[in-house]
Amino acid sequence: MPGWDDKSDLETASPESVPSNFVESETNAWLEEKEQQQQSNDDADNNKNNEDDDDDIDDEEILDTHGNVPSEQLRQRLEMQWRVASHVQDDNCDVYQPHTCGGEPCQLCRGRGWNDCRFCHGTSVLWSRPSLATPPTSCKICHQGVETCAYCKGSGWIASWTDLQTSSR
């Protein structure tokens, strides 16, 4: 509440304001119980945050029956890291600007980084077919008629170190 400070009423109470039936042991027990509840809530929050960190598995990862990442995917990750590291050491290469590292324009978006929306076809308006009398609605999928290119993730470039051989699954 606004105007309240962190001190409890017991710490700031004057001796005159303490009721005559005040029992200190009951209050201490109540305070200890509240502290334990707060501690258990904090522990539960920490456990929840730690569980959320375990969800960093890529969508395309396939796990084996024991929950481990297959060796082929691990090999591809390691090879990708080596390629990025080798290009980072190159003086002319800035990994945040792939065109400086021998990349090529994305073929799907033609180097723009975006494509027309698949649903409204770039108009940002959706029409319903059954009755043309109903008013059009704005497209909820895109942003002003365009979508970020899924292949190049909006950069417009495909860096040379991203072209890894993928094995058939």
Average pLDDT, the chain: 68
Share of the chain above pLDDT 70, in %: 46
Tell me, yes or no, whether 82 lies in a domain: yes
What per-residue confidence (pLDDT) applies to 28? 63
134-159 as b/e, with b when 16 or more CB fall inside 10 Å?
A: eeeeebeebeeebbebeebeebbbbb
Cα-only R_g, the chain: 30
Which residues are paired to 148 by β-bridges?
114
What per-residue confidence (pLDDT) applies to 167? 43
Tell me, yes or no, whether 136 lies in a domain: yes
Instruction: Tell how far CA 107 is from the center of its chain.
Output: 27
Tell me, yes or no, whether 13 lies in a domain: no
pLDDT band at 16 (very low <50, low <70, confident <90, very high): low
> Averaging pLDDT over each range in 60-64, 66-70, 105-109, which range is the top one?
105-109
Tell me, yes or no, whether 150 lies in a domain: yes
Residue 151 has pLDDT above 80, yes or no: yes
**The tokens of 99 are what?**
């065109």
Tell me, yes or no, whether 57 lies in a domain: no
Tell me, yes or no, whether 20 lies in a domain: no
**Domain range for residue 135?**
73-161
In the chain, how many domains are there? 1
Residue 23 has pLDDT above 70, yes or no: no
Tell me, yes or no, whether 4 lies in a domain: no
Say how far apart CA 45 and CA 33 lie, in whole Å: 18
Tell me, yes or no, whether 118 lies in a domain: yes
Residue 63 CB contacts under 8 Å (≥ 6 apart), including other chains: 57, 69, 70
What per-residue confidence (pLDDT) applies to 125? 83
pLDDT band at 80 (very low <50, low <70, confident <90, very high): confident
- The SS3 assignment for 82 reads helix
Note whether 117 and 147 are within 8 A (CB). yes
